[in-house]
Amino acid sequence: MIEKRLIQHLYPTYLLIMVLALGAFGWYAMASLKDFLFARTASELAARAGFTEVLMQGRWSEDPAEVDRICKRLGKRTNTRITLILPDGVVLGDSDEDPRKMENHARRPEVQAVLHGEVGRSLRFSRTLQKKMMYRAEAVREEGRLVGVVRTAIPVTTLEYLVASVKYRIFVGIILIGLLSAGVGLIIYRRLSRPLIEMREGAEQFARGELDYRLPIPDSGHLGSLAVALNRMAGQLKERIDTIVRQRNEQEALLSGMMEGVIAIDMERRILSMNRAAAALFGVHAGEVRGKRLAEISRAIDLQEFVEKVIVGGETVEEELAIFAGGEQYLQAHGTLLKDSEFRRIGALVVLNDITRIKRLEKVRRDFFDNVSHELRTPLTSITGYVETLRDGAMDRPKDAARFLEVIHRQSNRLLAIIEDLLALSRIEQGTERGSIEFEETDINALVERAIQLLEKMAGEKKITIDQSFEPDLSARVNGRLLEQAVQNLLNNAVKFSSEGKTVRVTTVKEEERFLIRVTDEGPGIPREYLPRLFERFYRIDRDRNREMGGTGLGLAIVKHIAQAHRGVVTVESTPGRGSTFTICLPLA
Ligand code: ADP
């Protein structure tokens, strides 16, 4: 573009100025030359007339043929037409013609002028010679008396030829000078414009972001320092851009690595940016939310009100928010104003901490304390009641007293059992958390057998057979005491819930990387809807009946925690009316 503009504007202008200047000069030179030539010729004609006048002094009255002869010789020698005319207009002699044949010259303008005492000059067409002539006439006086007129003339065509040939040369000269200076102009223009074009191309490269490019430095002083300055500017720009990119990458890495959700919102409540954690909270893609309204991303009124508070209130706000995004979620929100470098408000920055898990744990803990209190209160109320009855006189009735004491004893045992189970649970949980549970290579079949032995008495009372089918040579790294307790709990339930004469089957199975301990009974089975919550603490299907059977509601919870302590699981399959199968599944290593 610059190049084109230079050619289109600068160079034609230069050419125009040059042509005008040369034209004006040529015109002026030619006009002056013509004037000069005519003036010079006129003064020469005057000189020749004067010379002829001096030469002819005293000869005017001589023989006209002699006068005419002199006239002709003079004319030939001086290349001038010379005419001698008497005051009455009669031609006495003429260098080019026979005077006798010539007409009276009294009315010729140059002669008229001289006769009237003026300078005789004229430029006109000669009727005698049939061409345009320049005339000069001088008066000849003898003793103060006019005796005749000397007239000299030359054809103007001679002069015009001369002028034309000079004109031609000037014209050729001008053309040559014009061409030369056009060429020189072009060379100068090229020399000036090349560095400019290079600089323009360099600047375009810089604009495209190729900041490693360097402009060639031209020799000329100003352009040279301009190129140096541009190169330096590109270097500094590159450094700054590199710094900004590095900082941005660091910030992005920091933000996307954060567990907390971070959202920047502008004054129009549109999202400026959002990190990965925040996008995950709202189930959107972090790269696609820029420019969207907050309300499009989350319907949570709480969150929108929170942002309003930050932007309008202009203070740091901290609150707990409940939002629904595929399920109830609790967020701890911290909001501050976003300000630009001149401390003008440009939006809000909100940091969100997902506290749903903490909330859920809090609830579990609260429920647990409720349950524990409830579980402990029932036997304690009963104990207190019987103790009061005894104190109020029942002690004196030995039969009642014995019965009441029996109840008190049973309830105390129940309290003890609950507390022991709770302690066991808490020990397992703590052990798992701290990793303090010890594992050693153990014979699994022997362990299961020990658990069976402990329940044989109870099974015998109910005429229940305990069948066993063991994988030979099954050993694994486990905590023997805990795993025995888990099997015992499962067996205990199986025997407890089976009716008389049924069979309980205990199986051990070895698979590729894990082993299973399976306890199957032919008891009442468990309806499907209860299965998901079966392993929760204090969860019982039929509270009252179960309590009578002496259950604490913690047995399966303990099994679950023991399995988890071994990085394994416990599962249940059950068909109501036909029986249940509980399976502990643990890794071999
Ligand atoms: P408990 O100590 O009261 O037995 P558990 O945690 O061991 O408590 O069991 C929880 C509940 O699961 C029991 O109340 C019972 O209703 C049900 N349950 C457990 N094992 C069996 C089983 N083998 N057959 C039928 N129901 C069972």
CA 414 to ligand 1 center in whole angstroms: 16
Neighbouring residues of 47: CB distance < 8 A, sequence distance ≥ 6:
none
pLDDT tens digits, one per residue of 213-245: 888 887 767 778 888 888 999 999 999 999 999
Q: What is the pLDDT of residue 120?
A: 86
- Mean per-residue pLDDT over the chain, rounded: 89
Q: Which atom of ligand 1 is nearest to the CA of 540?
A: 14
Task: Name the band, by pLDDT with cuts 50, 70 and 90, for residue 501.
Answer: very high
Work out the number of other CB atoms within 10 angstroms of the CB of residue 200: 14
Task: Name the band, by pLDDT with cuts 50, 70 and 90, for residue 5.
Answer: low
Q: Where in the chain is the domain with CATH 1.10.287.130?
A: 360-434
CA 538 to ligand 1 center in whole angstroms: 10
Higher pLDDT, 492 or 5: 492
CA 199 to ligand 1 center in whole angstroms: 88
CA 161 to ligand 1 center in whole angstroms: 141
pLDDT tens digits, one per residue of 60-112: 877 888 888 988 999 999 889 999 998 888 998 998 888 888 888 888 888 89
Task: Name the band, by pLDDT with cuts 50, 70 and 90, for residue 469.
Answer: very high
pLDDT tens digits, one per residue of 290-344: 899 988 888 888 888 999 999 988 889 999 988 876 678 899 999 999 988 898 8
CATH, range 440-587: 3.30.565.10
- Is any atom of ligand 1 closer than 6 Å to the C-beta of 558? no
- Is any atom of ligand 1 closer than 6 Å to the C-beta of 555? yes
Q: What is the pLDDT of residue 498?
A: 93
Task: Name the band, by pLDDT with cuts 50, 70 and 90, for residue 8.
Answer: low
Q: Where in the chain is the domain with CATH 3.30.565.10?
A: 440-587
* Burial bucket for residue 373 (CB in 10 Å: 0-12, 13-18, 19+): exposed
What mean pLDDT comes out for the span 333-358? 91
- Is any atom of ligand 1 closer than 6 Å to the C-beta of 520? no
Alpha helices in 462-542 (DSSP H): 480-497
Indicate the pairing of strand 465-469 with strand 503-510.
Answer: parallel
pLDDT at residue 2 tops 70: no
Position of tokens 């740091």?
Answer: 316
With CA atoms as reference, report the closest residue to 348 among 374, 387, 324, 313: 313
pLDDT tens digits, one per residue of 405-458: 999 999 999 899 999 999 999 999 999 889 889 999 999 999 999 999 999 999
CATH 3.40.50.300 is held by the domain 360-434:
no
CA distance 391 to 71: 190
Q: What is the pLDDT of residue 160?
A: 85
CA distance 230 to 237: 10
pLDDT at residue 1 tops 60: no
Ligand 1, atom 4, lies closest to the CA of: 551
Ligand 1, atom 23, lies closest to the CA of: 494
Task: Name the band, by pLDDT with cuts 50, 70 and 90, for residue 547.
Answer: low
Higher pLDDT, 194 or 345: 345
Q: What is the pLDDT of residue 7?
A: 57
pLDDT more than 90, % of the chain = 44
For residues 265 and 272, is the Cβ–Cβ distance under 8 A?
A: yes
Q: Where in the chain is the domain with CATH 3.30.450.20?
A: 257-354
* Burial bucket for residue 506 (CB in 10 Å: 0-12, 13-18, 19+): buried
CA 416 to ligand 1 center in whole angstroms: 19
Which one-letter amino acid corresponds to residue 118?
E
Q: Is 19 helix (H, G, I), strand (E, B) or coil?
A: helix
Q: What is the pLDDT of residue 238?
A: 92
pLDDT at residue 550 tops 80: no
**What's the length of the chain?**
589
CA 540 to ligand 1 center in whole angstroms: 6
Q: What is the pLDDT of residue 322?
A: 85
The DSSP element (H or E) to which 193 belongs, if any, is: helix 156-207
Q: What are phi and psi of 471, to 5 degrees?
A: -70, 125
pLDDT tens digits, one per residue of 238-268: 999 999 999 999 988 898 888 899 999 999 9
CA 525 to ligand 1 center in whole angstroms: 10
* Burial bucket for residue 41 (CB in 10 Å: 0-12, 13-18, 19+): middle
Q: What are phi and psi of 130, to 5 degrees?
A: 60, 40
Task: Name the band, by pLDDT with cuts 50, 70 and 90, for residue 575.
Answer: very high
CA distance 24 to 30: 10
- Is any atom of ligand 1 closer than 6 Å to the C-beta of 109? no
Q: What is the pLDDT of residue 546?
A: 67
What is the topology classification, in CATH, of domain 257-354? Beta-Lactamase (3.30.450)
Distances (CA, A) of 517 to 193, 444, 476, 506, 523: 92, 9, 12, 7, 18
pLDDT more than 70, % of the chain = 97
pLDDT at residue 6 tops 70: no
DSSP symbol at 80: -
Task: Name the band, by pLDDT with cuts 50, 70 and 90, for residue 545.
Answer: low
CA count, 13 A, side-chain hemisphere, 152: 21
- Which range of 199-213, 439-453, 534-548 scores highest in mean pLDDT? It is 439-453
Mutate to test the pocket of ligand 1, among 518, 531, 540 (most ligand atoms within 8 A of CB): 540
Ligand 1, atom 19, lies closest to the CA of: 493
Position of tokens 């954060």?
Answer: 258
